[in-house]
């Protein structure tokens, strides 16, 4: 029973003692010769060892980090193999996958490197063969041209001249293609004004076709740092290819040169039959003609676009068909206006 005296609780506190030890708070009561001790929280509720939840969380994080490191170590070669395969797929057959491990992924990387080496050796052998044949053909062709001058029959002589000239053209094209397809192409670059270049090109090689060829240069003072002789060769081949396919009546060729940001964009567009998407995929392949039934008189040798593509690549650019599957072919060459030092 509680006392009605407001000061009675002070007398009661004289028999109480308070203490604190760590997480525990103690209350000691003296009652009838006995000491009663009350603890909060209970001593049994406090673990004498480390917190089990902390241990579980720590182990979980440790296993997670170990698993991440193991997965990263496992898949690291896959990224290297993927990047290496991408380089090789772009035609960089001298690229090799490095840091190969001694496991199944390492065996795969070794096989890809060997495949790239085999393809590179095959292409080198092919180029060496073409170069050797081209060099060896120049001498007999020169002799044939000399002997041809002594042929008495004018009809036979005039019939053979274009054939010899065509063979010489093929030899020259193959030699130029070999020079351009080397890993380190030496270009004679200079500042060139394109309005003058295109005007001289039409006057020198296509003076009889001026009514069918239109030229546009934007801006008119457009200049670029290029190998003028090689760019003229590329444009000459593209224009000659277009003239081969446009109709005799109403045939038109539009040549344009313009700046697009840091790039020079050259286009040769005609109103001929055009090329299909499948044919466009073979642009740049030597001796390829879209129609196998075409002869040299109607379809060329298949080296013109090949050389044009090599010239664009040597300048750090690309030659492509801008409108596959449409009427009229539009060949677009995009190369840098300037060369980074």
Residue 147 maps to which CATH number?
A: 1.10.287.130
Does 113 reside within a domain?
yes
CATH code where residue 323 lies:
3.30.565.10
- Rounded to the nearest integer, the mean pLDDT of the chain is 81
Contacts (Cβ under 8 Å, ≥6 apart) of 87: 95
Whether residues 72 and 16 fall in one domain? no
The answer to whether residue 46 scores a pLDDT higher than 70 is no
170's tokens: 């093929």
Domain match, 202 and 328 both:
yes
* Co-location of 204 and 241 in the same domain: yes
- Specify if 148 maps to a domain: yes
Q: Look at residues 150, 184, 218 and tell me which one is the last residue of a structural domain.
A: 184
What percent of the chain has pLDDT above 90?
24
Q: 3 in a domain, yes or no?
A: no
Mean pLDDT of 21-50: 70
Tell me, what DSSP letter sits at residue 25? E
Q: Which of residues 120, 153, 184 is at a domain's end? A: 184
How far out from the chain centre does Cα 270 lie? 29
Q: Work out the average pLDDT over 199-224.
A: 91
216 or 22, which is more confident: 216
Count of Cβ atoms closer than 10 Å to residue 112 Cβ: 18
CB-based contact 196:235 (threshold 8 Å): no
Residues 81 and 137 in one domain: yes
Q: Distances in Å between the alpha carbon of 307 and those of 40, 95, 131, 196, 304?
A: 93, 24, 15, 23, 5
Query: Are both 245 and 321 inside the same structural domain?
Result: yes
Which letter does DSSP use for residue 273 in this model?
-
In a domain, 2, yes or no: no
Q: Confidence band (pLDDT; 50, 70, 90) for 1?
A: very low
CA 213 to CA 238: how far, in whole Å?
Answer: 12
Residues 197 and 155 reside in one and the same domain: no
Which residue range forms the structural domain that includes residue 34?
A: 8-45
Looking at residue 239, its pLDDT comes to 94
Stronger pLDDT, 330 or 99, i.e. the higher one: 330
pTM of the model: 0.56
Confidence at 255, pLDDT banded by 50, 70, 90: very high
Backbone angles phi, psi at 120, to 5 degrees: -60, -45
Residue 341 lies in a domain: no
Residue 138 lies in a domain: yes
For the chain, counts of helices (H) and of strands (E): 9, 10
Report, as an integer, the average pLDDT of 85-102: 80
For the residues 245-249, what does the mean pLDDT come to?
89
pLDDT at 336: 92
Asked whether the bond before 41 is cis by omega within 30 degrees of 0, the reply is: yes
Preceding amide of 328 cis, omega within 30: no
Q: Residue 197: which pLDDT band, with cuts at 50, 70 and 90?
A: very high
Cα–Cα dist 18/40, whole Å: 12
Cα torsion angle, 315, 264, 286, 165, sign:
negative
Residue 184 confidence (pLDDT):
54
Domain annotation covers residue 149 = yes
Query: Do 164 and 57 belong together in one domain?
Result: yes
Burial bucket for residue 252 (CB in 10 Å: 0-12, 13-18, 19+): middle
Domain termination site, one of 184, 201, 233: 184
Residue 201 has pLDDT above 70, yes or no: yes
* Higher pLDDT, residue 30 or 50: 30
Residue 296 lies in a domain: yes
pLDDT, position 121: 84
Q: Are residues 213 and 285 in the same domain?
A: yes
Higher per-residue confidence, 157 vs 178: 157
Question: Which pLDDT score, from 0 to 100, does residue 7 have?
Answer: 57
Give the number of domains in the chain.
3
Asked if 274 and 201 sit in the same domain, the reply is yes
What is the spatial distance between Cα 224 and Cα 190, in angstroms, rounded to a whole number?
8
**Containing H/E element for 216?**
strand 213-218
Residues 281 and 146 in one domain: no
Q: Which pLDDT score is estimated for 2?
A: 45
What pLDDT sits at residue 147?
84
Give the three-state DSSP class for 46.
coil
State residue 11's pLDDT score.
58
Q: Which of 10-14, 123-127, 294-298 has the highest mean pLDDT?
A: 123-127
Is the predicted pLDDT of residue 91 greater than 80, yes or no?
A: no
Average pLDDT of the residues in 44-72: 80
Clarify whether residues 68 and 129 are in a common domain.
yes
What confidence score (pLDDT) does residue 294 get? 43
Q: pLDDT of 105-143, one tens digit each?
A: 888 888 888 888 888 888 778 777 777 777 777 778 888
Is the same domain home to 125 and 205? no
């Amino acid at each position: 029973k509680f006392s009605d005296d407001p000061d009675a609780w002070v007398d009661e506190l004289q028999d109480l003692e308070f203490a604190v030890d760590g997480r525990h708070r103690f209350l000691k009561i003296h009652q009838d010769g006995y000491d009663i001790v009350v603890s909060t929280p209970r001593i049994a509720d406090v673990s004498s060892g480390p917190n089990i939840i902390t241990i579980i969380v720590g182990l979980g994080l440790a296993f997670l980090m170990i698993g991440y490191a193991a997965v990263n170590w496992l898949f690291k070669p896959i990224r290297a193999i993927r990047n290496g395969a991408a380089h090789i797929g772009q035609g960089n057959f001298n690229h090799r996958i490095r840091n190969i491990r001694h496991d199944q992924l390492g065996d795969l990387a070794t096989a890809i490197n060997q495949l790239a080496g085999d393809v590179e050796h095959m292409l080198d052998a092919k180029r060496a063969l073409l170069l050797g044949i081209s060099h060896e053909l120049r001498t007999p062709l020169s002799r044939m041209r000399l002997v041809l001058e002594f042929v008495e029959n004018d009809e036979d002589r005039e019939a053979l001249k274009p054939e010899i000239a065509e063979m010489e053209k093929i030899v020259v094209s193959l030699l130029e293609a070999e020079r351009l397809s080397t890993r380190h192409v030496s270009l004679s670059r200079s500042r060139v004004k394109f309005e003058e270049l295109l005007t001289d090109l039409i006057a020198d090689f296509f003076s009889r076709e001026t009514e069918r060829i239109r030229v546009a240069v934007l801006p008119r003072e457009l200049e670029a740092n290029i190998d003028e002789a090689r760019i003229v060769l590329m444009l000459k081949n593209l224009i000659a290819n277009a003239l081969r396919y446009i109709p005799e009546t109403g045939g038109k060729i539009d040549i344009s040169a313009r700046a697009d940001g840091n790039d020079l964009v050259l286009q040769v567009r005609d109103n001929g039959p055009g090329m299909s998407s499948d044919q466009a995929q073979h642009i740049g392949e030597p001796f390829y003609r879209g129609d196998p039934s075409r002869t040299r008189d109607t379809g060329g040798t298949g080296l013109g676009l090949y050389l044009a593509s090599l010239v664009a690549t040597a300048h750090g650019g690309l030659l492509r068909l801008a409108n596959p599957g449409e009427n009229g072919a539009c060949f677009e060459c995009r190369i840098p206006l300037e060369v980074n030092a």
